[in-house]
Chains A and B, each alone.
Chain A
Amino acid sequence: MWPNLPLFPERASTLAGRVDALYFFLIAVALFFTTLIAVLILVFSIRYRKQRQLKAKQIEGSLALELTWTLIPLSIAMVMFVWGSAVFFYQARPPRGAMEIYAIGKQWMWKFQHVEGQREINELHIPVGRDVKMIMTSQDVIHSFFVPAFRVKADVLPSRYTSTWFRATTPGTYHLFCAEYCGTQHSGMIGRIVVMEPSAYEAWLGGGGTEGSLSATGQKLFQELGCATCHRSDTQGRGPNLVGAFGKPVILEDGRTVVADETYVRESILNPGAKVVSGFKPIMPTFEGQVSEEGLVSLVAYIKSLSQTQQGTQKQNEPAAPVPAGK
């Protein structure tokens, strides 16, 4: 009836070891102080129980002691802060050249799209030893992408893209949970992360028919929606030239600068008037209601590919900058 009783989660990413090390440090500190307080209370209350100590000795307090137990915990807390932030920095910055996978959360399932074109629901296949960057959005409420074995969690919000990354270290199957309460079937919004050996992953990618890569789907949609009539690859278009635009700063009409990231591209498709590029008229119609979240993802991937062709596509498949393994 009770299959197993795990007390500690599996460790399957380069991040996991770092988080666990910090966790053990904090446990050590917590144990030390809990024990200290418990022992002091026990010793004092027994040593000075009323039967032995009939009259209490009044003590005013001690500045030296107060400073001690303010400053020592403070310095320990600062160690925790710096260490915790270091782990977070590692976790919050996807390495350059990570392979990208798009995720869409909706009540109550996860949809994944590989740039190679594969689509999956509630199941995500990834290769071991590669940096994987998740680019995620939600179709409705806030969800949260949570893989305990990777120690990775990121909220998935509507109308914007959030991202997280991981590099799996051990092949296997791991839980994927939605961690942000999202309605009736919240606890049913779970899935599996299947980490495969690179060769098995290549085989998996090759198997099963797909309609071509994600950016190709996006390109088709780009043509169908007539985007290309204005966003031409020369300087004659009524809209900005999108080649090489992704990831670069854009100067807006009101003088502000924004980076043309996934969220900006998405917003510009659905609500073009919000941030108009300097030098262009706000004439673009909205595509709200005409493009699904999947379609938007493919458009984003396509526009992104327009910038990557210039820098060379191979970069995507190169191994990432060396990252010290967690284990």
Chain B
Amino acid sequence: MATTVQPVEQQNYLNSNYGIKSWLLTTDHKRIGLLYLMSITLFFFLGGFFAMLIRLELLTPASDLMQSDNYNKVFTMHGIIMVFLFLIPSIPAVLGNFLVPLMVGAKDLAFPKINLASWYLFMLGGVVALYGMVTGGVDTGWTFYTPFSTTYSNTNVVTVAIGVFITGFSSIFTGLNIMVTVHRMRAPGMTWGRLPLFIWSHYATSVIMVLGTPVIAITLLLVALERLFHIGIFNSQLGGDPLLFQHLFWFYSHPAVYIMILPSMAVISEIVACYSRKRIFGYNFVALASVAIAVFGFLVWAHHMFVAGISVYAAMIFSLLSFLVAIPSAVKVFNWTATLYKGSVHFDTPMLYAFGFIGLFTIGGLTGLFLASIGIDVHVHDTYFVVAHFHYIMVGGAVMGYLGGLHFWWPKISGRLYPEGWAKLSALLIFVGFNVTFFPQFLLGYLGMPRRYAAYPEEFQVLNVLSTAGASILAVGYVLPMIYFVWSLRYGKIAGPNPWNAAGLEWRTSSPPPTYNFEETPIVTWEAYNYDEISEEKGVEVAG
């Protein structure tokens, strides 16, 4: 990992010791963050590979590239890998792991050994899930709806469900670690009101992880038990109710969407502040919005079930609550935008990602209102409209935030700068490719193209071809950063402790940070985002 080309680097977490054991047995949150980074990058490209297969199959109306049973497995594996093995751990387990202790001025997370154990759990779950996929696959969709998953599917549902069950514990432990760290490990003077918004968002995310994940764990366990022992908790022929599964599943899986998007919002807050050289407009409101999203997120699960046979009045209540959860998200978008006002705006790559995030998240969020509005949801539910909507949130939102954050903190993680020109190019490719891929899907959805179709009527073809073309651009955009990040490890310019001249404790230690993060425990006497106190002369020019 660490380069040895440069003469005499100071001691840091990368070069403090070498060898595979020093990585696999490390309890350093920064190294564990990197372990996660490598594993989820692998899963991301695997999930992306399946996405490409889906898009290629949908080039033509007939199911000619794959038989429909293979297509069903491919979209299922795309969903499971992307949701459980990439998106959920992406920012919290990589950037959160790396940055939370640095940002609160701690030596490490509260429970370093549990942190390492959670990576092993994640890998174990991932390997079990992959094993299930390799030895026959699974075709239930990532939602595992009963009674198809419990009774009718002939694929490896149990193995994959157990894999997901195990990774669930990994995110429970990550969430627990972050929560305890924020509560108990803050440096002297780091009051709640001085915490960076990154921490607030991660705190909210952790609440969801701790409260929500066990519910899906038990639900998938019951699915496995039902398949293995023919007990009938969800099986209507045995007296159970398949809708109970949907209630339990979405009780977790709707908040899980916020597990994916809140950390992205965390990243965006940091980036927007830094590249506007300003404190975040309405700090308190942005912080509270995170918590509000986490709380309301638990109350809207049944909006996935408007056409599933729930009562009219239940549907209306969940519709109302779903509209309410949109408000704090809107508040955040407005505050980020207002932060630019009278700022000193720098167009570095992370800022481009932040702009991309705000734009795409706005579209994703607003189309969410279409789905919360029951009259329209009845028509677009389970169509490509929904597919487009949640990709705008999860890819346009979560992945943009993740990549933006990775660029922003790459100098801190690696000690090196990435090549700015290439990075801007790839940000542009991703933005354009993303929109070309997913915007046509809104139209497809309102036209009525159902999701999870291997074959479709001919009149949908043009929009599908457009979408596949966009996906190819997107693919290039995603491969590029991978290449230049690796390149920069050896050839990138030395970053120095604070190349962006950013506020935040993590920039007050060397890059890469020493094993115990700070030479001496920092004492905080300032608010977050004190950009007025950071002189501009030392400033961004260093970054070139």
Contact = CB atoms under 8 A, between A and B. Distances in A.
B366 A30 contact: yes
A233 to B, nearest CB: 32
B361 to A, nearest CB: 10
B359 A66 contact: no
Nearest to A2: B462
A142 B374 contact: no
Given A66-B331, A88-B315, A61 B284 contact: yes
Interface string B438-464: 000001001110111111111101110
A187 to B, nearest CB: 4
A231 interface: no
Nearest to A58: B532
Contacts of A54: 344, 536
A226 to B, nearest CB: 24
Contacts of B532: 56, 58
Interface in A1-33: 2-9, 18-19, 22-23, 26, 29-30, 33
Contacts of B334: 65, 69
Contacts of B390: none
B278 A45 contact: no
Contacts of B139: 183-184
A84 B338 contact: no
B484 interface: no
The main secondary structure of chain B at its interface with chain A is helix
B459 A6 contact: yes
A157 B153 CA distance: 17
Which of A44, A177, A184, A271 has the largest number of chain B CB atoms within 10 A? A184
Contacts of A87: 374-376
B446 A140 contact: no
A84 B373 CA distance: 5
A19 B374 CA distance: 10
Interface in A67-98: 69-70, 73-74, 77-78, 80-81, 83-89, 91-93
A55 B443 CA distance: 44
A160 interface: yes
A307 interface: no
A55 B282 CA distance: 20
A194 to B, nearest CB: 16
Given A26-B369, A81-B323, A153 B381 contact: yes
Given A48-B345, A59-B278, A59-B341, A70 B327 contact: yes
A247 B68 CA distance: 42
A34 B382 contact: no
Contact of B355 (A19, A41, A92): A41
A86 to B, nearest CB: 7
Given A41-B358, A41-B359, A177 B373 contact: no
Contact of A78 (B279, B323, B337, B346): B323
B235 to A, nearest CB: 9
Contacts of A199: none
B308 interface: yes
A60 interface: yes
B148 to A, nearest CB: 4
B68 A8 contact: no
Given A59-B342, A81-B320, A85-B316, A34 B362 contact: yes
Given A5-B462, A162-B309, A157 B236 contact: yes
A21 to B, nearest CB: 10
A197 B379 CA distance: 25
A133 interface: no
Interface in B245-290: 276-279, 281-285
B27 to A, nearest CB: 40
Contacts of A181: 72, 141, 143, 145, 148, 382, 451-452
A155 B141 contact: no
Nearest to A174: B448
A151 interface: yes
B354 to A, nearest CB: 10
B526 interface: no
Interface residues of A, number: 89
Contact of A88 (B309, B345, B374): B374
A142 B244 CA distance: 13
B148 A142 contact: yes
Interface string A265-276: 000000100000
A69 B330 contact: yes
Nearest to A271: B239
Given A41-B340, A50-B540, A183-B152, A152 B378 contact: yes
A58 B461 CA distance: 51
A37 interface: yes
B341 A44 contact: yes
B153 A183 contact: yes
A236 interface: no
A103 interface: no
Contacts of A182: 148
Given A34-B366, A57-B342, A73-B330, A154 B307 contact: yes
Contact of A5 (B148, B309, B459): B459
B39 interface: no
B370 interface: yes
Given A22-B376, A141-B152, A158-B147, A49 B382 contact: no
Nearest to B531: A56
B448 A48 contact: no
A144 B305 CA distance: 12
A127 to B, nearest CB: 22
Contacts of A170: none
A73 B325 CA distance: 11
B358 A56 contact: no
Given A160-B309, A184-B139, A186-B453, A18 B340 contact: no
Contacts of A175: 448, 457
18 contacts: A5-B462, A6-B459, A9-B446, A26-B369, A49-B345, A50-B540, A53-B342, A58-B278, A60-B279, A65-B282, A65-B334, A69-B330, A69-B334, A70-B327, A83-B373, A142-B147, A184-B72, A185-B68
Given A22-B376, A73-B326, 11 more contacts: A2-B458, A7-B447, A41-B340, A48-B340, A61-B285, A80-B369, A151-B378, A153-B379, A175-B457, A179-B383, A183-B72
Interface of B: 63, 68-69, 72, 139, 141, 143, 145, 147-148, 151-153, 236-237, 239, 242-243, 276-279, 281-285, 306-309, 312, 315-316, 319-320, 323-324, 326-327, 330-331, 333-335, 337-338, 340-347, 355, 358-359, 362-363, 366-367, 369-370, 372-379, 381-383, 443, 446-448, 450-459, 461-463, 531-532, 536, 540
Interface of A: 2-9, 18-19, 22-23, 26, 29-30, 33-34, 37-38, 40-41, 44-45, 48-50, 53-62, 65-66, 69-70, 73-74, 77-78, 80-81, 83-89, 91-93, 107, 140-142, 144, 146, 148-149, 151-155, 157-160, 162, 175, 177-188, 190, 271
